[in-house]
Structure 1
């Protein structure tokens, strides 16, 4: 059964992606929390933005926490 929004519209189905395992650095941690808050507020656009920014951050040398799997 799909999750319901407060206004009784069904939420989009959850998608499960293969996540890279890493210990979060500060920017990773911030973006992960921001995504969780956006999902809690049913702000799917903001949650998507957070995931995109997280992936971009992880692809840079700035991300000190990313570990090869």
Structure 2
């Protein structure tokens, strides 16, 4: 017995989007871009350093975009 597939494009569930958006502070933005550039250059060590520095920065009171704890 063969299984029948529904015709037409697959149905994707709707993902609700909240009204608030994450707005990174300057250092967060800089470190995120630096990580992306390091990944694009296959510099995994530098990308890891950027992630560590970003986490450290977000743990300080200087970060205006900290995630609520």
Separation in 2, partners of 1:57, 1:22: 16
Q: If you compute each CA radius of gyration, which structure gives the higher value, 1 or 2?
A: 2
Query: Where in structure 2 are there 5+ consecutive unaligned residues?
Result: 1-20
Q: How many residue pairs get matched?
A: 49
Please report the TM-score for the alignment, with normalisation by the length of structure 2. 0.65
Moved beyond 4 Å, runs of 4+:
none
Please report the TM-score for the alignment, with normalisation by the length of structure 1. 0.65
Counterpart position of 2:12? none
Query: Where in structure 1 are there 5+ consecutive unaligned residues?
Result: 1-20
Separation in 1, partners of 2:31, 2:58: 11
